Amino acid sequence: MYNQTEIIKDTSELGADGELVINMGPQHPATHGVLHLVVTLNGETIKKIEPHLGFIHRSIEKMCESLTYRQFIYVTSRMDYLSSHINNLGCALLVEKGMQIEVPERAKYIRVILSELTRIASHELWLGAMAMDLGAFTPFFYAFREREMITDIMEDTCGARLTMNYIVPGGLMYDLHPDFQKKVKAFITQFKSKVTEYEDLVTNNIIFQSRTKGVGILSAEDAISYGCTGPVARASGVSCDIRKIYPYEVYDKVEFDEVIETAGDSFARYIVRVKEMNQSIRIIEQLIDNIPEGDFVGKTKNVLKLPKGEFYSRVETARGEFGVYVVSEGGTTPHRIKFRSPGFSNLSVLNHIAAGGMIGDLMASMGTLDLVIPDIDR
Amino acid sequence: MFSLEGITTSVQDWLFMKFNPTMALAMECVIVILLSISLFAILGLILVLMERKVAAHIQIRLGPNRVGPGGMFQTVADTLKLIMKEGLVPDKADKFLFNLAPFVVMMVGMLLLAPIAFAKNFQIWDINIGVLYISAVSSLSVIGILMAGWASNNKYSLLGAMRSGAQIVSYELSAGFAVLTIVVLTGSLQLSEIVKAQENGWWIFKGHIPALIAFVLYIIAVTAETNRAPFDLAEAESELTAGFHTEYSGMRFALFFLAEYINIFIVCAIGATLFFGGWMPLHIGNWEAFNHIMDYIPSSVWFMGKTFFLIFLIMWFRWTFPRLRVDQLLNLEWKYLLPISLFNLLLVAIIAILGWHF
């Protein structure tokens, strides 16, 4: 493609006097995936960040146009692989809403419990990776210890640890594992006793605080205008929890708080996610003993056909609002499908919040945006 | 009783009996060189394994446990792998400097080995300006790192090298002042004199508060000087991939890797000598029986024990703390550590003049 002299010539032309252009990624330890950032530096200070996307583009939206309404749900597991269950749920909700399928209460409860477990697992992984971005290796292992229990529960429930594919339009693929409630309770006890370790190791660490406080500040206005959702927007004081605003499944029956911080810096985003884990535990505690008996899947037709029209459904994933927009011509496959992925909008603020800071600040800002690259590229 | 002193004197006597003095001296040099090189190799193997085991213990996992009993030969296997690997040189790199850099870094470690007293009367070179020699030579390692960063023709390497330059030059000062505290208390720059002065108590105990402050400053400063976390900005993995040694592979990388651990060993050995009495056993006042028992432990064991305790301390830091940002790193030195060390030096001078220390 290129010979080497060309590449060197190109980059030296890009930077003006005293500026250094670095390609961070597509292979870089801090991008956690194949994200390519073209960073213009002046010494240690960042002038400009330009994200280049497309390295893991699999044209999932186009692919979904040739898959039936039963099949296309499972492709979304491969988008935001850390909240695959919640992505599946968003798609299933759309199909159920479009065809007025009645979902049994039992399925609704289980879906919500698993959604919250997924959220905790995602935040746990983020916590470890974020600490690693800041140079602390040990929290990664502590976070994975608890995450491992969740993935074990997932494995028992549906056979997969990461891309669960447990949801079908109208309910669930199979019933719960008999040990499910026992294991989830064991996890809750373990999590509650260990969450203080994160506080000691990370939150209260003076180096961690000085690395994140006042770094990558995002104002509420900017969060709205860039379309940020999820913990990123909530850390800036924007109330945007889909679970509260447009409750789906049984979120209107459970008590939980929408965690909102106002500082808008990296530390606020960190605090929001840690507190959200506790809120998720609260939701699970309310539901786990009250799972109603009954069917786990409702009655559906063998061939699903959405009526002609446009449909939209939204769910709150671990990263923010995940939207599915389908235009149907009445056939068995979507005519056109569009996913609104939270990661894409959250990435777009990166230049805004990290330019002007140092290279170290970029890691703190990027870490707290919680980017999952397949979610951005799709 | 086991003593390294006896071995060295008998070897020396034998050499001078058999050969003429010049020849004997030359042979002694060769023996010393071979010994220090093998010490390097063994230390590298032990310290890397120790680091991995300590890290594993802190991170609730087992660490290397497949090669040999308890993973003992893991580092041997790693070294063999590195030796057999191809050492790539980037196309546009400055080949001479690129190849020279690891040796410069390595050589600094070797030179620093000379004045360290490993056991009673077991020292390569008891130079009378030992402490001055150490602080002079240890500053040279930054040249090797800058060389590596510049010659690699890689932007990450350059950034890492520049960070390292700023960092090592700054933290030299605090380390130097911390060492000076002990020099003021002892009244000598010679390492053997410093050890002898601690016969009836280590400086950390009898040096009052200034020695304690100096020890804390010393540990922080040498952690920064050896580019260890939380000050590992020169090779900040998540920011600069591998910093100044991004482009190094094979044996050249191994030399950098080895030099890091040798440097840790040396700074900890110096720290043990200055603050914990080097090879001096632990003596408590008038407890005759206790002191006698302590004397039976060989002096080399005392020295190594103290050194490895400090090494463990530095490893513990690495696996607990996040990394500082580069401006915070320099702020810490110039705004906090340096004023504190200047004040501390003044304090210790007053104490030494008035004779308040034990």
Residues A88 and A201 in one domain: yes
Spatial separation of the C-alpha atoms in residues A205 and A209, rounded to whole Å: 6
Q: Do B321 and A205 touch (CB under 8 A)?
A: yes
Smallest Cβ distance to A208: which of B163, B322, B326? Answer: B322
The whole-number pLDDT of residue B357 equals 65
**Averaged pLDDT, B7-34:** 82
The whole-number pLDDT of residue B79 equals 86
Q: DSSP class of residue A226?
A: T
Q: Do B323 and A4 touch (CB under 8 A)?
A: no
Q: Considering the entire predicted model, what is its pTM?
A: 0.85
CB contacts < 8 A (A, B): 87
Residues A34 and A111 in one domain: no
Spatial separation of the C-alpha atoms in residues B64 and B48, rounded to whole Å: 11
> With an 8 Å Cβ cutoff, is A2 touching chain B?
no
Calculate the average pLDDT of chain B: 84
Residues A99 and A146 in one domain: yes
> With an 8 Å Cβ cutoff, is A190 touching chain B?
no
Alpha helices in A18-104 (DSSP H): 60-64, 72-75, 84-99
For B243-295, how does the pLDDT look when each residue is reduced to its tens digit (9 = 90+)?
A: 788 888 888 888 888 888 888 898 898 888 888 887 877 777 777 777 777 77
Residues A85 and A213 in one domain: yes
Given A34, A52, A70, the domain boundary residue is A52
For residue A32, what are the domain limits? Answer: 4-52
Residues A46 and A70 in one domain: no
Smallest Cβ distance to A207: which of B236, B237, B324? Answer: B324
Confidence of residue B11 (pLDDT cuts 50, 70, 90): confident
Count of domains for chain A = 2
Q: DSSP class of residue A163?
A: S
Q: Do B328 and A211 touch (CB under 8 A)?
A: yes
Helix (H) or strand (E) holding A217: none
Spatial separation of the C-alpha atoms in residues A78 and A121, rounded to whole Å: 16
Residues A135 and A23 in one domain: no
Q: Which residue pairs, CB below 8 angstroms and at least 24 apart, start in B293-301?
A: B296/B1, B298/B1, B298/B2, B298/B3, B298/B4, B298/B119, B299/B3, B299/B4, B299/B119, B299/B120, B299/B122, B300/B4, B300/B118, B300/B119, B300/B122
Q: Do A141 and B322 touch (CB under 8 A)?
A: no
Q: Do A363 and B326 touch (CB under 8 A)?
A: no
Conformational region of residue B70, where left means phi above 0, alpha means psi within -120 to 50, and beta covers everything else: left
With contacts defined as CB-CB under 8 Å, which chain B residues touch A131?
322
The whole-number pLDDT of residue A3 equals 45
Mutating which of A6, A22, A41, A44 best tests the B interface, going by the most B Cβ atoms within 10 A? A44
> With an 8 Å Cβ cutoff, is A129 touching chain B?
no
Which residue matches tokens 């260990």? A194
The C-alpha of A208 sits at a distance from chain B's nearest C-alpha, in angstroms, of 6
Residues A26 and A46 in one domain: yes
The whole-number pLDDT of residue B28 equals 81
With contacts defined as CB-CB under 8 Å, which chain A residues touch B324?
207, 210-211, 360
Residues A85 and A113 in one domain: yes
For residue B347, what are its two tokens?
């304090």
pLDDT at B131 over 80: yes
Write down the domain spans for chain B: 81-354
The whole-number pLDDT of residue A161 equals 86
Residues A187 and A268 in one domain: yes
Cα torsion A68, A71, A75, A76: sign: positive
The whole-number pLDDT of residue A131 equals 87
Residues A290 and A167 in one domain: yes
pLDDT at B200 over 50: yes
Q: Which residues of chain A have pLDDT under 70?
A: 1-18
Given A35, A52, A69, the domain boundary residue is A52
Cα–Cα distance list, A345 to A274, A319, A369, B181 (Å): 22, 10, 10, 56
Q: Do A211 and B319 touch (CB under 8 A)?
A: no
The whole-number pLDDT of residue A7 equals 46
> With an 8 Å Cβ cutoff, is A210 touching chain B?
yes
Spatial separation of the C-alpha atoms in residues A310 and B166, rounded to whole Å: 60
Q: Do B237 and A210 touch (CB under 8 A)?
A: no
Mutating which of A359, A362, A371 best tests the B interface, going by the most B Cβ atoms within 10 A? A359
For residue B133, the one-letter residue type is Y
Residues A94 and A19 in one domain: no
Q: Do B323 and A135 touch (CB under 8 A)?
A: yes
Residues 6+ apart with CB under 8 A from A151: A121, A161, A162
Judge whether A162 and A94 are in contact, CB under 8 Å.
no
The whole-number pLDDT of residue A17 equals 65
Residues A39 and A114 in one domain: no
The C-alpha of A153 sits at a distance from chain B's nearest C-alpha, in angstroms, of 21
